[in-house]
Each structure stands twice: as C-alpha cells, then as structure tokens.
Structure 1
Amino acid sequence: MLEFISRIFGKDSSPSKNVARERLRLVLVHDRTDISPQIMEALKSDLIKVITNYMEIDEAALEVSLDSNENQIALVANIPVKGMKRSGSMAPTGA
C-alpha cells in the first residue's frame, strides 16, 4: 500500500523518469546557450577531425553535449578511443 501511495505522489525513481529528467535538463542547457543543433554537429565534426589526427576513435559512439550548473556551462565529450596513432602516421598540422 505504501509503495502505491509513493508512486502516486512521485516518490518512484524509475529509470524512465530519470531519462526524461536528463533529456529535459539537456534541452534547457541548449536553450540557455542558444546553440543550434547545426552548430553542435559542426563542433562535433571539428572535434572528430582534430582528434583523429592523434587517435583512432569510435566516431559512432562519440557523444558531445553541454552541461551547466548555476554559474557556468561546460562542453562534455565522451570519446571512445580505439588506439593511438604512431607519430609517423599523423597528418601535418598545416600551420
């Protein structure tokens, strides 16, 4: 009975509730930063170009997002690294 009452009044911390809360948080962060999805994709593409000069990464699993707390916004990147490239196989820097 207590479990039923807890569910009615929102005490249930189901995984779907947590996922929905996280999605809403991400939407709010993106709204506050005024960064369009196109800019986020361009940023992700540029990160891939730079990082692949030095490492072999899993591009399909790469995640880039913005996170915020009260005072600041952080760029958070989860980049699965498959391996390091040898120094001889790195692309020139073009400086």
Structure 2
Amino acid sequence: MMDFFKFFKKTSSSSKDIAKERLQLILVHDRANASPEFLEMIKGQLVDMISNYMEIDKEGIEIKLTSMESEDNVEVPALVANIPIKKVKHSSKF
C-alpha cells in the first residue's frame, strides 16, 4: 500500500543526478558533432519538407539531441523532433 502513495509523492532529483544528466547531453552533442547552428539547419529543412504535406505550428517545434540504447545495448545519439500539426493538406498528387 505504501508504493501507491509514492506514486503521488513529488520526487526531487539530487544535484548529482541533474549534473549527470547534463553531462550526458553534452557528451551526446559531442559524439554527434552537432552545433546549435547544425540543429537549426536541420529544423529548417524539416519544416520545409513537412510543410509540403501539412500545415504546422512553426513556433511550437522542438528539436533536440538525446541518447538512446541501440539494439547492441550501446548508447547512441538520437534526434527527437516534436512538430505540432495544424492540419494535413489534401491533394490529388498523393
């Protein structure tokens, strides 16, 4: 029964955990060799391509580098994009 209440308890991260998470993100950026300018370039190209098919909320787009575990259980960089869609464009071309 005690575990049920832990679910609602606000958990706080220690400074050590926060520092570890930040260091991991820095390492991901270094391994991927991705500068902020490079991420902006990718964002612009994604917006251009997706805009051909959908109306998107350009202000709400979030693109970031993170890491994930590969099938070999190795940490690898991963590009995550959150692109809010306003509506899908319908065309006879598709």
Flag whether TM exceeds 0.5 (same fold): yes
Pairing of 1:1-95 with structure 2 (within 5 A) = 13=12, 23-69=22-68, 70-87=74-91
Structure of greater Rg: 1
Shift of 1:72: 2.0
Q: Give the TM-score normalised by structure 2.
A: 0.64
Higher relative contact order (CA 8 A, sep 6+): 2
Change beyond 3 A, Cα 1:30–1:81: same
Taking the aligned partners of 1:84 and 1:61, their CA distance within structure 2 comes to 17
Q: Is the CA contact (8 Å cut-off) linking 2:28 and 2:76 kept in structure 1?
A: no
Comparing both structures, which one devotes a greater share of its residues to strand?
2
Q: What SS does the corresponding residue of 1:26 show, helix, strand or coil?
A: helix
Identity over aligned residues, as a percent?
49
RMSD: 3.1
Unaligned stretches of 5+ residues in structure 1? 1-11, 91-95
- Segments of 5+ residues of structure 2 without an aligned counterpart are 1-10, 69-73
d(CA) in 2 for partners of 1:32 and 1:87? 41
Q: Secondary structure at the match of 2:75?
A: coil
Q: Report the counterpart of residue 93 of structure 1 in structure 2.
A: none
- In structure 1, what residue type is equivalent to 2:51? T
Distance 1:80 1:57 in 2: 6
Q: In 2, Cα distance between the equivalents of 1:62 and 1:19?
A: 25
Q: Which residue of the partner structure matches residue 8 of structure 2?
A: none
Displacement of 1:27 in angstroms is 2.9
Distance in 2 between residues matched to 1:63 and 1:44, nearest whole Å: 8
